[in-house]
Amino acid sequence: MKNTDKPVAEYDDDRFPLERLEANAILHYPNPSRRGCPSRDVLKRFVESPHGVTVGDLNDLHVFQCAECTLDLRHFREGRDARIARQSAQQQSHVMWRWLAIAAVLIVGVALPASYFIHRHNARSGSESTASLVLGDEQVERGPETGIVVPRAKITLKLELPQTAPPGSYDIVFSRRRSMSDPMFRLQRECQGTGMRPGLTAELDLRTVQEGGYWIGVQSKANGKAWYTYVSVE
């Protein structure tokens, strides 16, 4: 058997793209034209069922030298983890409801209000998600062809800025247009961290947003420099 025919599971399953190699690929290997990339279906199957994907399917070590594939893998892993968390919360909710039904026979006036609160709390906690986005200059900017998919849910944005981004305050906007003007949402955050890439964290509630394409813009209040990335809400 050739190396490229071996199941990826033999290469330590989901730990194949190690964190340091991911960070290196994102920082040094932008590939907005998606040259040499395996399909998104292959990347998703690698995350969901690595036993069914070979190293050859992943084009050998391509993911270690492609920011776009690395970000897609990260997105699919976050989606998988969020789904598992929702399923776990639903199972816990079903068990809780069973016990509450028994208790309701004894204490109707207390059990029913309590069960409603617990069910609503679990439903809300299961609708939250995290999206990690890397912002760069126009030559490596994500556009409609390569934008990341985000869910219609409460999401936490983890935004990685270019190394040249100054410290201080930033405006973060969510808009139909590639512009900092007249956005649907506008937030202000302080730059976090001074490591390999400075970062920002912001929370958005997209549950009432229509499906489709949107721009996320980030602008430094220190020098007015702005960066954009495209996302698709589904």
Average pLDDT of the chain, as a whole number: 76
Strand order in the sheet with 226-233: 148-150, 226-233, 212-220, 169-175, 185-190
pTM of the shown model? 0.47
Least confident of 91-95, 179-183, 184-188, 199-203: 91-95
Summarised one tens digit per residue, pLDDT across range 189-230 is 998 655 566 888 889 999 999 999 999 999 999 999 998 988
What percentage of residues in the chain have a pLDDT greater than 70?
A: 72
- Measured at the CA of 193, the angle between CA 187 and CA 197, to 5 degrees, comes to 95
**3-state DSSP call for residue 72?**
helix
Summarised one tens digit per residue, pLDDT across range 17-47 is 467 778 888 888 888 888 889 888 888 888 8
Give residue 48's region: left, alpha or beta (phi > 0; psi -120 to 50). Answer: alpha
Residue type for position 222 = A
State the Cα–Cα distance between residues 126 and 79, nearest whole angstrom.
Answer: 12
pLDDT for residue 6: 47
State the Cα–Cα distance between residues 2 and 29, nearest whole angstrom.
Answer: 27
pLDDT for residue 149: 86
State the Cα–Cα distance between residues 190 and 204, nearest whole angstrom.
Answer: 16
Domains of the chain: 1-126 (no CATH), 128-233 (2.60.40)
